[in-house]
Amino acid sequence: MNTGANSVSRREGTMDKPRDSDANVDERSRAKRSLDSIRKSGGVLEARMRELAGVLRYYRRVITDPHVLAEKLVSRGVPPSLFGYRYFERETVAEYFSRHPDQRERRYEVLKAEAVAHNPLPRNIMTRQELPANAGWWGYSFFDVPERRSGETFLARFKDCKVSWYGEPDLGEDFFPALIHGGNRALDLREIRFRPGHSRLLRQSKGAVRHSDAVWFIERVYHNHSHWLTAHLPKLLLLRKHGLISRALLPKVRTQVIDQSLEMIGLVPEEFLLFDFSKPLEVEELTVLGTDRFAPHLLRSVPPAFGVPETAGSRRIFISRSQAKRRKLVNEDDIRPKMEADGFEFVCMENLSFIEQIELMKETRVLFGSHGAGLTNMMFCPPESHIVEIADPSFPNPNFYALASALGHHYWLLPARAHGSVHPLEKDLEAEIPEVYRALESLRQLN
C-alpha cells in the first residue's frame, strides 16, 4: 500500500506542476509580438524623428536666411523680379525639354550626335597611365583625352528670353553671359550660366533692346584669343552654313583679332545683330547654338576657311614668351642654342599681326612652346603637324592636347617645374632640359 501510495503521490506531484493552457500560450505569444512590435516601431519612430528634425532645421534656415527663402520661393514660381533678379532656378537644355517633351521635335535640332573620340597618346608617352588624371576645373583630364566624349551640336529654340551679362572686356574684365527663358529659369550651358552679377543689368529692363528673332552663340570670355578661335569661329562657320548669320547677336566691343578673323572668312560685323553692354536684351524667339569646344567636325572646318594648305609645312617654330608678363620659360636661353641648331625659329607672337601669325602657321611643320594662348595658332597649321607643349604636370590643363587631337595633329607633352607663389595660371615654368633634348632627337627623324 505504501509503495502504491508513494507511487501515486509521485505521479500526482508530477501532474500537479503548472501546465500552460492554450489561452496562456496565446497570451504569451501576443505579449512577445507586442514587445517586438514596440521595439521595431521605436526604431522607425526614432528614424522618423531624425528625419523630422532635419526638416525643421531646413525650414528654420529657410525662415532665418533670406537668400535660401528667396531661392525656395523662386523655385515655387514666385517671379525673380520681386527679388531684384538675384535668384533663378537653373536648368540644362536637356532638363528643359524633359519638362516640355511636346516641344522637343519642333524646337530641338541635333546637328551632330555626341561621339567618343579615339585619339592617340602623346608621341613621347608610352602608356595612358602616364597621363595626369586630375580633371581640375576643366571637367576632364589628360587621361580622358584618348577617349574623350564630345557632346551634341544642337540648335534649341526658346520663347520670351532675356540676355544679360557682366564684365567689360574693353576694361580688361572677363565677360560672363546668362540666358533667362520664360521669365523665371536660367539656362545652364557650357560657359553660359546665371551668376548673381547678372542681376544688375536685368534690373534695367525698361531700357532693354528687343528683338523678335535672334541667335545666341557668345560664350564666357569671348574676347580671349584662344576662346574666340576655338569656341566661336567654328560656331560662326556653322551658323553661316545654316543661313543664320543675319540673326546672330554680336557684341560691339570686339578685339582686333575678332574683326580680322571675321574679315578673313568673308564676314563683316554689319551682317550681324549688334549689341552693346549698356542695355539687356529681350528676344521673343531665341535660338541657342550648343557645341562641344573640341568637337573635331567643328574645329576642322576652320583651316579650310582660312586657306590652310593640306600639304605639310617645313618651318620649325618655337613660341617665345620672353616678352610675356606671366608664364615665362625661365630657362629658354639655355635650350635656345641647341634648338636653333636644329632649325627652330624663336618667335614672339605679340610682335606679329594676327594675319602674319596665320601665314607663319601655314608654313609650320613643328610648333613648340610652353603652355599659352600662342599654341592655339596650331589651328592654322597644315594637317598632321607636330605640336610640342611644355607644361606643368601639377596643373594639367588638357585643352591643347584635346585641340591638337581634334585637328589631326601629332601632340607631344614635355614636363616642366612651376615657379612662384602666385596662381598656377601666373607661374613661370622651367623646362626639364633632358626631356626637351630627347624630343629634339625624335623630331630630327621627320621628313
Q: What average pLDDT does range 117-131 have in this prediction?
A: 96
Taking only the tens place, the pLDDT of each residue in 66-90 is 777 778 788 888 888 888 888 899 9
Domains of the chain in sequence order: 87-99+153-291 (no CATH), 302-443 (3.40.50)
- Sort residue 84 into left (φ over 0), alpha (ψ -120 to 50) or beta: left
Taking only the tens place, the pLDDT of each residue in 405-444 is 999 999 999 999 999 888 888 899 999 999 999 999 999 9
Please give the grid coordinates belonging to residue 332: 629658354
Per mean pLDDT, which range of 64-78, 256-270, 300-314, 423-437 is the poorest?
64-78
Torsional sign, CA 427, 429, 430, 434: positive
Q: Which residue did the predictor score with more confidence, 4 or 381?
A: 381
Contact 374, 226 (CB under 8 A): no
* Residue 350 reports pLDDT greater than 80: yes
Residue 207: the pLDDT is 79
Alpha helices in 247-384 (DSSP H): 256-264, 296-299, 302-305, 332-341, 354-362
Please give the grid coordinates belonging to residue 434: 633632358
